[in-house]
Structure 1
Amino acid sequence: MLILHLSDIHFRKSDIHTTQDPNFHLRNELVRDARLQCSRLGVPDAIVVSGDIAFSGDPEEFKFATDWLTTLCEACGCSMASVFVVPGNHDVVRNLADRNLVQMIHNTIKSAGNSNTEISKQLSDPDAGRLLYESLGNYNQFAQQFFCDLLPPDRTRVVRDLKLNDGSILRLWGLNSAFVSSGHDRQGDLFVDPASLQITREDGVVNAVLTHHHLSWLRNSRELEDHLNDVAPLQIFGHVHTNRVDMVRDYVRLSASAANPDRQENGWEPGYNLIELCVNGGPTERTLRIKAHIRIWQTAPGGFQAKMDRSSSTFEHSIRLNDWVCSSELPEISNNYAGLSPEIMPVKEGNTINLLRDLGLRFYRLSFSQKFEIAGRLELLEEEDMSLPDYERFRRVLIRAYERELLNVLEDAVTTIEQRLRD
């Protein structure tokens, strides 16, 4: 299995589509290098982005991100359906997060004796939950095309499963560390919510966790670190713009470079990662082999090069896994497509999952009026949807199409509009 990992792309509205964009050449070189590396290593099974896709949470920044990720996927030979994202602090619209009412909720959480209890209380309150997540509305609109959008209280993390070489499951968990982010962020003052501390171990499942803020930025870092070290052999963070690889007995922890860092910051070092995963050994001696290719930018001459681990161009580590026998009773594939919380879809329905992902990407690209017309004509909208954000309303349209066995009908309707637009 191959995972391509990016972080902190920081598409800035004032730069994109201009000749003064300081990172145009760098992004082009990253795509060229990724194409070359993937031609050697294989097509990525997932492209994961650990936050800060945008710079100020502006819709145009997310639109540019969609177009650029499309280019990257084409270069690597994979579908946009392979993209998996989590939000970062730059994906927050700060003038929404800095409002007095929102800051009151933030301060209540920060000053609580038990932050986990307070976070649960605030996320379960409809008004408080809406205020906490409103600043992530543009991010959610973008993330919905990948079924990575978030909605409290039940969908505050995202999950996706990939099949490893021995038939077991790599389960990607995307955590949100930006729901208390604003213009007042300070190191050690951010949080993950209690759902992030309930990642479960299952036979035949290997957990990999992706979140934006490094542990050093989280108030509940000790609790999260202890939990992840128990349950997640692969841990991926962004935000700090510094590439580090920690290889410990039970886990590998990656802290990422920024794909588009600020050129004025100290230690400016753009980069991205390619992570190979393989399960070796028999049922009673299974090990997870992790091989990380850390690609960093060098100047004069310019180009992405391998970060060296002493004399090796890769960082390699093996982790002992629990015993597991592959049988007809395979682990179930989890997905984050259900309305309010992850549900289980059997492995045999994997083709349906792929159809839903691909259709979701195509549906996302239609205009609001086109989506609304299709949803209304197929009677996939309910009265209860009218008070929801657009991204959640149309997510439910896709889920209902799946539940009512109307995916093919919905696909035909989308195809008709696409054909009309081409003509």
Structure 2
Amino acid sequence: EESYQVETATTFVRACSLIKNRSYDVAVLDLQLHAPQEPDNRDGVFLLRWLMRKQVPVVIVTAVPARRLVDEILSSYGHVYEIVDKSDSEAIAGLAACVEKARQSSFPSVADDPARFREVDERFERLIAGEIERSRTGWEANHLRELASHDQASQATVTWLHISDLHLSDDKTLRSSTELDSLLVDIERQIGQHKLVPDWAAVTGDIAFSGQEKQYARAAGFFDRLLDRTGLTKERLLVVPGNHDVSRSLVSTGARILGDSLHDGKTISEILSDDGDRRFLLKRFEGYARFVGDYFEGHSNLDSDRYFYVRKFELADRQIAVLGLNSAWVSASDRDEANRLLVGEEQVRAALGLAAEADIRIALLHHPFRELRECEQQTVERLLCQECQFVLHGHGHRTDLTLHRSPDASAMVIAGGASHAGLEYSNTYNLVQFNPGSGQGHIVLRRWSGEGVGFWAEDNLTYRNVKNGIYQFTL
């Protein structure tokens, strides 16, 4: 008897997250997904389009009485293997066999028959237009229009979640656990409310509080829940180390002296070009390196050969390159304040070289430019802001949005604030959606309030001109 690993979704956005970011052999789909406002909806029709794009065979299980809609689906979607009537007990009893036959079936790909897929897309547009015309309520028509808009936007945009500075320690108090739980709940709620299905997620450093094994064990549990809420896979969760990911007990006197002595670009590049010197300086990340190697199962590593990375995706018909940079490799103590840290022109140029063919480049690092030593601050900032469309960082524990413009380029620098920083700072995170074609995007800003039992809300306090917690921008 066949056994299956099954993932379920009861909402349109949750289903989109799973379809968008994971691979499946077969899908069992109800045309009427649960919608709190109105039980009579057609969300599942939109999901057919997503499944077709991913070339997933579909078995529809539905009680929709409209034979016209069912006939239209069968004639339009070659990836629909069977439509099963919920009210037919005999058909339901044979569902398992139907699923297995669908799993073994084969359908043409977009590459094999692009004209066919264009025809199907055109039929889909006519089908949805007809459904809107025949809608029995204003809510149903608006709901379909909203889903159609989301469907179009999702194909043309790149969307990501940005969290930072989790500072996960051995603190397992109820308050700490409640803050993390509410963060996950709010992320899922905002994805649904704004129809922002993330393609990937960034964590820009300070995952742990002091780089210890127990702290990363807690991080693994948190990341598991984050991936479940967003529908992302481990390959699409991109992290970089911060100063709190350094195990300071592993920083020898010699490593501290060497780090403190670096004040010219040539010497910094020579150090980063030498495997032995890198190994000596990167020993401080032993706990972090073990965690990312084990948790990400080879998708992410940190060692003397891979102290940065470049991850590439095909999204919105463009190649997206994410540069994961290490800005904490000389971090050693609480004295690591402004003008004391290094990225290294060598690291930046090496990463940009690997990302040279990408249409969109997004840099991740923990520290803002102002924290870098004077000898490289302007060089690193100029390189990244000229060659990348976005630079994401953390460390400052405050949200900060800066649009860098020059005669040659423009870049949005986004400071993620701290997503779990205790009472001293307001916890924050953001969701970003960007349309590479138009150059337009928006950022959903969220802020934690410690009032009462605590709650997440729109961040309308950081900037006077940000309304409803959403910042619109154009690059």
TM-score bracket for this pair, using the shorter chain length: 0.5 to 0.7
CA contact (8 A) 2:318 2:359 kept: yes
Aligned residue type for 2:165: D
Q: Contact 1:156–1:195 at 8 Å: present in 2 too? A: no
1:68 corresponds to: 222
Whole-angstrom distance in 2 between the partners of 1:235 and 1:189: 20
CA separation in 1, counterparts of 2:467 and 2:225? 33
Q: Aligned ranges for residues 143-292 of structure 1 at < 5 Å? A: 143-144=292-293, 145-146=295-296, 147-152=299-304, 154-165=305-316, 167-183=317-333, 184-198=335-349, 199-200=352-353, 202=356, 205-219=359-373, 220-249=376-405, 250-263=410-423, 265=424, 268-280=425-437, 287-292=438-443
Mapped pair 1:107 → 2:264: no
Residue matched to 2:271: 122
Q: Which residue of 2 aligns with 1:140?
A: 289
Please give the alpha-carbon distance, in whole angstroms, between the structure 2 residues aligned to 1:239 and 1:255.
8
Instruction: Tell me the amino acid that sits aligned with residue 95 of structure 1.
Output: S
Note the C-alpha offset of 1:66: 1.0
Q: For residues 71 and 295 of structure 1, do their structure 2 counterparts lie closer, same or farther at Cα, with a shift above 3 Å needed?
A: same
What residue in structure 2 maps to residue 31 of structure 1?
Answer: 184
Secondary structure of 1:136 counterpart: helix
Code of the aligned partner of 1:178:
A
Residue 165 of structure 2 contacts residue 421 of structure 2 at CA under 8 Å; is this kept in 1? yes
Instruction: Verify the 8 A CA contact 1:213 1:239 in the aligned structure 2.
Output: yes
CA contact (8 A) 2:345 2:379 kept: no
- Residue 169 (structure 2) pairs with residue 12 (structure 1): yes
What amino acid is the match of 1:132? Answer: L
For 2:209 and 2:280, the matched residues in 1 are separated by: 21
Q: 1:59-79: CA deviations, max 9, x gaps?
A: 111111011111111112222
| Count of aligned pairs | 299
Name the SS for the 1:132 alignment partner: helix
- 1:259–1:67 distance in 2 versus 1, CA, 3 Å: same
For the pair 1:305 / 2:457, whether they are aligned, the reply is yes
Structure 2 residue 210 is matched with structure 1 residue 56: yes
Query: Where in structure 2 are the equivalents of 1:303-342 lying within 5 Å?
Result: 303-308=455-460, 309-319=465-475
What does residue 395 of structure 1 align with?
A: none
User: In the alignment, is residue 81 of structure 1 matched against residue 230 of structure 2?
Assistant: no
* Partners of 2:159 and 2:239 in 1: CA distance: 16
Q: Aligned partners of 1:50 and 1:125: how far apart in 2?
A: 26
- Could you give the per-residue CA deviations for residues 39-89 of structure 1, whole angstroms, max 9, x where no partner exists? 232432111100000001001111110111111111122223321000000
RMSD: 1.9
Q: 1:126 to 1:44 in 2, by over 3 A?
A: same
Counterpart mapping for 1:344-359 below 5 A? none
Write the distance in 2 (CA, Å) between the matches of 1:75 and 1:189: 38
Offset of 1:317 from its aligned partner? 1.2
1:90-118: CA deviation from partner (whole Å, max 9, x where unpaired):
00000112x21211211222xx4x2x322
| Identity %, equivalent residues | 26
Query: d(CA) in 2 for partners of 1:125 and 1:248?
Result: 33
Q: Distance in 2 between matches of 1:148 and 1:306?
A: 33
Q: Which moved more, 1:36-45 or 1:59-68?
A: 36-45
How far, CA to CA, are the matches of 2:321 and 2:368 in structure 1?
20
Q: Out of 76-85 and 177-186, give the one that drifted further.
A: 76-85
Kept in 2: contact 1:213–1:238 (CA 8 A): yes
Q: 1:205 to 1:24 in 2, by over 3 A?
A: same
Following TM superposition, by how much is the alpha carbon of 1:148 offset from its aligned partner in structure 2, in angstroms? 2.7
CA distance in 2, matches of 1:51, 1:204: 24
CA distance in structure 1 between the partners assigned to 2:163 and 2:341 by the alignment:
22
Post-superposition Cα deviations, 1:145-180, rounded to whole Å, max 9, x if no partner, equal 43332223x423111112231x11121001100100
TM-score by length of 2: 0.60
Inter-CA distance 297–8: structure 2 relative to 1 (3 Å threshold): same
TM superposition shift of 1:248: 3.9
Which runs of no fewer than 5 residues in structure 2 stay unpaired?
1-157
AA of the residue aligned to 1:134: K
Q: Is the 8 A contact 1:86 1:148 kept in 2?
A: no
For the 8 Å contact 2:385–2:404, the answer to whether it is kept is no
Contact conserved, 1:164 with 1:279, CA < 8 A, in 2?
no
Compared with structure 1, are the counterparts of its residues 104 and 231 closer, same or farther at alpha carbon in structure 2 (3 Å cutoff)? Answer: same
Distance 1:12 1:191 in 2: 26
Mapped partners of 1:185, 1:313: distance in 2: 32
Q: What's the offset of the Cα at 1:21?
A: 5.1
Counterparts in 2 of 1:228 and 1:123: CA distance versus 1, 3 Å: closer
Structure 1 counterpart of 2:442, one-letter code: K
Higher relative contact order (CA 8 A, sep 6+): 1
1:2 equivalent in alignment to 2:151: no
- The structure-2 alpha-carbon separation of the partners of 1:80 and 1:131, relative to structure 1 and needing over 3 Å to count, comes to same
Task: Indicate if the aligned counterparts of 1:271 and 1:294 stay in contact, CA closer than 8 A.
Answer: yes
2:435 aligns to what SS in structure 1? strand
1:187–1:218 Cα contact (<8 Å) kept: yes
Whole-angstrom distance in 1 between the partners of 2:358 and 2:180: 38
TM-superposed CA distance for 1:126, in Å, is 4.1
- When normalised by structure 1's length, the TM-score is 0.67
